[in-house]
Structure 1
């Protein structure tokens, strides 16, 4: 990764968006919402409870989107993370 987060920031990659509902209905692109979950790719030195590889849930409008090596990523504060999946 070309970007190293500072302080209590984390870099998160969103999980893949669902293409169909549980009932098999295909969701059009215009109706899809961006997922609020993802995987931590890197954590700053002051992050106390997160590390690379953690699956997390974050606030709907949290973070700043950026492109790195063709991937859409988010950088956000550790406080924007709502929970960690076990």
Structure 2
């Protein structure tokens, strides 16, 4: 599963995209929901846990934590945005 990263999330991960395994090769639980994906990413990149908010978009729409995700979905992390 490929995740698009923007803003501070891109800086934390060090790339504009991130691949998350869709099989249990690593022995870790494969994320099946947005909430599980956030937990997976927070364990892999602890700095993400320090963000005041982190929205997830699935197929170009904001997703609730309970939404199911699949390996073919387009997923994006939307960091907090400040404006002026």
TM, length-normalised to structure 1: 0.29
TM, length-normalised to structure 2: 0.29
Higher strand share: 1
Higher helix share: 2
Task: Specify the structure having the higher radius of gyration (Cα).
Answer: 1
